[in-house]
Structure 1
Amino acid sequence: MSDRCRGLQERRLRQAFGTRGTNGFRPESHAGPGEERADRTRESPEGLDGARIRAARDYLLLLAESSRAREDPFLAGELNAAAEGAEDVVRQGPVVRTPDEAFRAELLIHADGTRPAALVKNGSLLRPEALGDFGELYVISRQTVDASIRSAGRIDASGRQLGGGMLLALEDRDEHVVLTAGHVLDGWLEPGDPPTLRPGLVIDFEAEFGGASSNRHRLDRLLSYCFDEPSGTDYALLALGASLDGRSPPAAALTDPGRWRLAVGETIGILGFPARPVLPSSLFLPGQVWHSLFGGAWSVKRLSPGRVSAAPADQAGQDLVWHDATTTIGSSGSGILTFGSGYLAGVHAGGRSEANRGMSLAAIAARSGQGFG
């Protein structure tokens, strides 16, 4: 399929299911202790366009027929199910979307292998089997991406994953900090102005596929924090504490202020630790989309390519990064890397129907008053 046709397909699918308002933001980290996140979002009746959605439904049915002709019955079935969902929106008006339906709508456009989630092993990117349009980019930029891969760590508490984080060096002093999404710390902050961090958080820089070792460090102190969902401000900076394994931390991620603002269409990589979503087990069997993208390996270091998207109208003008890389629950706090150079450009936070969103490093530097280098 040509780039133009693929882009048209993606736009139509997004239009069919992109009817959520700002309250549809999906943080992609696990809940705090004793908490459960509600993941059923009521659709807003505003902006529903029956003709547009029916057109998208018809297009989905054509794609399903094409998939059957290519002897891909699973994808044909998923496309038919998505078409039925579009018809339900038109016929019933506002609907309650289950987690299964929400993830299906958001993942189908990436089920052709063009948004893989490549594993990392021994600090180096492994080439995934299906690459699509990103194949040459993996070959060209692998060495530069590797330069920042070791700086990503999985943030855990009491043996449970909360999200991911990136190791950064401060510009004006010899100190390392960990950058993550602010909502990753839900349930681990003591109230106050500013809030303080509860003890028990650990970051492991070697949580890799097949890894037999760990490089864990405590996260002891909160340096800067903000989580304001309406504005998209969602970041936290934590002081890196003592090692739990007697090892030094890895080198900090590469940064360059000239690369902190990303242009629409630019290729990026999301570096983090996508975890298994809370969905029916049948969706993870061989032949299913989730299995083809992740192969049953969860909460280990991966890099997923994507492209920077235009901001939705209700978020235009804000210093956020919108992208279409494949992410899941557990991906919050992932680093956003410039795919051709491996420089850190921001932090991933979560997603809406039309795109995933994060916060640029430029905005974090301005908000926190910190320089990174």
Structure 2
Amino acid sequence: MSAGSTYERLLSGSQSGGLEHADGGGVPSPPDPGRLITQLSDEVGRLEEHLGRRADPAALERLKRRAEHALREVVDHGADARLGPRDMASLEAVVHSDGSRPVLFVEDDFFDVTAPTAANWAASLSRIQAELRTVCRAVGRVNDPGALLGYQGTAWAIDDGVVVTNYHVLEAISTHPSRTDGEFGGELKPGVAVDFGAEVGGGPSNRVFRISRVLGVGRAGAPEHAHPTIPRINFDGLDLAVLELDRVSGRQFPTPVQVARGDDPATHGALASRGRSVYLVGFPGSAASTRPDVFAELFAGVKGVKRLTPGVLTEGRGEVADDARHWIISHDASTLGGSSGSVVVDLEAEGRKVLGLHFAGVPDRVNWAHGLEGATLELASAIPGWRSP
């Protein structure tokens, strides 16, 4: 699906509200640029009030101009719209502000219920409040004191004092990293830690744990399976690292999340299916991103805070091209140009089963995650005492 057709679908479908599935019927009306730009301005105004600071006026005007241009391109040309990275960044901001795929601040381990952009998803998210709070508490920012932004990605608790993140995040917080047959070679940088607070406004300060060692890493993909056009993408590999945290006297590790397993006799490894509603929790933003972070441009210095983004699985396990191992899924939740390591959680049923580990995307709203039902054996071999269901 092209970027133009994807945005046309999201921006048109948002006018009807509610959860959107990939097979939704009916013919949506075309996007209304005037209405959408007004909603974008209203959302920026709400953020100014919420954060207690004003958006950069010049950045806001640039955003509105780019958004109007990109919207006209989608309206006039649909699937054939020609969209550059900044066009798509502005459309991302519109999608966030109209409620199609909002980006919601996590506050007090829950989503910002005052955000008008949450309206289409509020009922579904509120229904799983207890489970959602457990997931939000279990997600942390991978701090790196030497990094440009001060952090490198997201990790989340999968066992007591054990977290999962991407291998490429581990590479960024290590010196001389390498991997062979699930074993890691290299040394962790000084001071790297996981901060399970890091919410907008500061959040709890007593949830920081240093990373002590690497328990295991996913396999590297065979070179002949490298993606033909996207650097460092290889669906034959597993972009995963399992890390152990140092205990801190008087502090408890977060409660681990529940992971959907391929050996669960109740689900037979088939939860991560096309059209299933999901939500991601993580720390969007990346200095190396190919898509500008509009929020960071508007509110310089306010970044690296925990956010929640709902969406839909656009491809289930076994449906992604060139995924011979059946451990890749795709989703259309907003990732703001970099959410490496974010947790992908089932929004349906009980709303607490982790379906995937986000690892990559391209600027036309194709976002990939490892479907963890397909990586059960690899996780079990890296996590001491990880039991069968």
State the TM-score, normalizing by the size of structure 2.
0.65
Deviation at 1:87, TM superposition (A): 10
In 2, Cα distance between equivalents of 1:9 and 1:342: 31
1:126 matched to which residue of 2? Answer: 112
Would the alpha carbon gap of residues 267 and 144 (structure 1) be closer, same or farther in structure 2, given more than 3 Å must change?
Answer: same
Tell me the SS of whatever aligns to 2:154: strand
1:175-222 CA-partner distances (Å, limit 9, x unpaired): 531100111122415345432342322101111122252411111211
Deviation at 1:140, TM superposition (A): 1.5
1:325 matched to which residue of 2? Answer: 333
2:212 matched to which residue of 1? Answer: 220
In 2, Cα distance between equivalents of 1:222 and 1:152: 18
Would the alpha carbon gap of residues 76 and 282 (structure 1) be closer, same or farther in structure 2, given more than 3 Å must change?
Answer: same
In 2, Cα distance between equivalents of 1:319 and 1:282: 29
Deviation at 1:276, TM superposition (A): 6.6
Would the alpha carbon gap of residues 220 and 342 (structure 1) be closer, same or farther in structure 2, given more than 3 Å must change?
Answer: same
Amino acid at match of 2:256: A
1:249 aligns with 2:249: no
Match of 2:5 among 12, 17, 22: 12
**In the alignment, is the contact (CA less than 8 A) between 1:208 and 1:300 conserved in 2?**
yes
1:147 aligns with 2:126: no
**In the alignment, is the contact (CA less than 8 A) between 1:235 and 1:364 conserved in 2?**
no
In the alignment of these two chains, the number of paired residues is 304
1:320-362 CA-partner distances (Å, limit 9, x unpaired): 1210111124411111111242222221112122421111222
Deviation at 1:14, TM superposition (A): 6.1
Amino acid at match of 1:167: A
Would the alpha carbon gap of residues 348 and 191 (structure 1) be closer, same or farther in structure 2, given more than 3 Å must change?
Answer: closer
1:358 aligns with 2:369: yes
Deviation at 1:283, TM superposition (A): 4.8
Deviation at 1:236, TM superposition (A): 0.7
Deviation at 1:296, TM superposition (A): 8.0
2:306 matched to which residue of 1? Answer: 301
Supply the RMSD in Å over aligned alpha carbons.
4.0
In 2, Cα distance between equivalents of 1:199 and 1:276: 19
Greater CA drift, 208-217 or 148-157: 208-217
In 2, Cα distance between equivalents of 1:334 and 1:184: 11
Deviation at 1:165, TM superposition (A): 0.4
Amino acid at match of 1:133: N
Amino acid at match of 1:205: F
**In the alignment, is the contact (CA less than 8 A) between 2:279 and 2:310 conserved in 1?**
yes
Deviation at 1:298, TM superposition (A): 2.3
Deviation at 1:152, TM superposition (A): 0.7
**In the alignment, is the contact (CA less than 8 A) between 1:164 and 1:330 conserved in 2?**
no
Alignment of 1:227-266 (within 5 A): 228=221, 229-231=233-235, 233-243=238-248, 247-257=251-261, 258=264, 261-266=271-276
Deviation at 1:315, TM superposition (A): 4.0
**In the alignment, is the contact (CA less than 8 A) between 2:165 and 2:341 conserved in 1?**
yes
2:345 matched to which residue of 1? Answer: 337
In 1, Cα distance between equivalents of 2:136 and 2:304: 15
1:348 matched to which residue of 2? Answer: 358
In 1, Cα distance between equivalents of 2:109 and 2:119: 24
Greater CA drift, 258-267 or 229-238: 258-267
1:164 aligns with 2:154: yes
Tell me the SS of whatever aligns to 1:234: coil
2:200 matched to which residue of 1? Answer: 209
1:67 matched to which residue of 2? Answer: 33
Deviation at 1:270, TM superposition (A): 0.4
Deviation at 1:157, TM superposition (A): 1.1
Greater CA drift, 266-275 or 317-326: 317-326
Deviating runs (4+, > 6 A) in structure 1?
Answer: 8-11, 83-90, 276-282
Would the alpha carbon gap of residues 11 and 191 (structure 1) be closer, same or farther in structure 2, given more than 3 Å must change?
Answer: closer
In 2, Cα distance between equivalents of 1:63 and 1:125: 30
1:272 aligns with 2:282: yes
2:71 matched to which residue of 1? Answer: 79
**Bigger relative CO (Cα 8 Å, ≥ 6 apart):** 1
2:378 matched to which residue of 1? Answer: 367
Tell me the SS of whatever aligns to 1:299: coil
Amino acid at match of 1:122: D
Tell me the SS of whatever aligns to 2:239: strand
Amino acid at match of 1:331: S
Tell me the SS of whatever aligns to 2:125: helix
In 2, Cα distance between equivalents of 1:108 and 1:305: 15
**In the alignment, is the contact (CA less than 8 A) between 2:325 and 2:374 conserved in 1?**
no
Alignment of 1:92-107 (within 5 A): 99-104=85-90
In 1, Cα distance between equivalents of 2:290 and 2:158: 34
**In the alignment, is the contact (CA less than 8 A) between 1:162 and 1:330 conserved in 2?**
no
Would the alpha carbon gap of residues 134 and 317 (structure 1) be closer, same or farther in structure 2, given more than 3 Å must change?
Answer: farther
**In the alignment, is the contact (CA less than 8 A) between 2:89 and 2:293 conserved in 1?**
no
Amino acid at match of 2:72: N
Amino acid at match of 1:178: V
In 1, Cα distance between equivalents of 2:357 and 2:306: 15
2:21 matched to which residue of 1? Answer: none
Deviation at 1:114, TM superposition (A): 1.9
Would the alpha carbon gap of residues 266 and 167 (structure 1) be closer, same or farther in structure 2, given more than 3 Å must change?
Answer: same
State the TM-score, normalizing by the size of structure 1.
0.68
In 2, Cα distance between equivalents of 1:315 and 1:108: 32
1:235-271 CA-partner distances (Å, limit 9, x unpaired): 111112233x852222112335346641111111101
Tell me the SS of whatever aligns to 2:310: strand
Tell me the SS of whatever aligns to 1:313: coil
In 2, Cα distance between equivalents of 1:100 and 1:11: 14
Amino acid at match of 1:190: H
Specify every segment of 5 or more residues in structure 2 that has no aligned partner in the other structure, as ranges: 10-28, 40-63, 222-232
**In the alignment, is the contact (CA less than 8 A) between 1:262 and 1:321 conserved in 2?**
yes
Tell me the SS of whatever aligns to 1:130: helix
Specify every segment of 5 or more residues in structure 1 that has no aligned partner in the other structure, as ranges: 1-7, 17-61, 91-96, 170-174
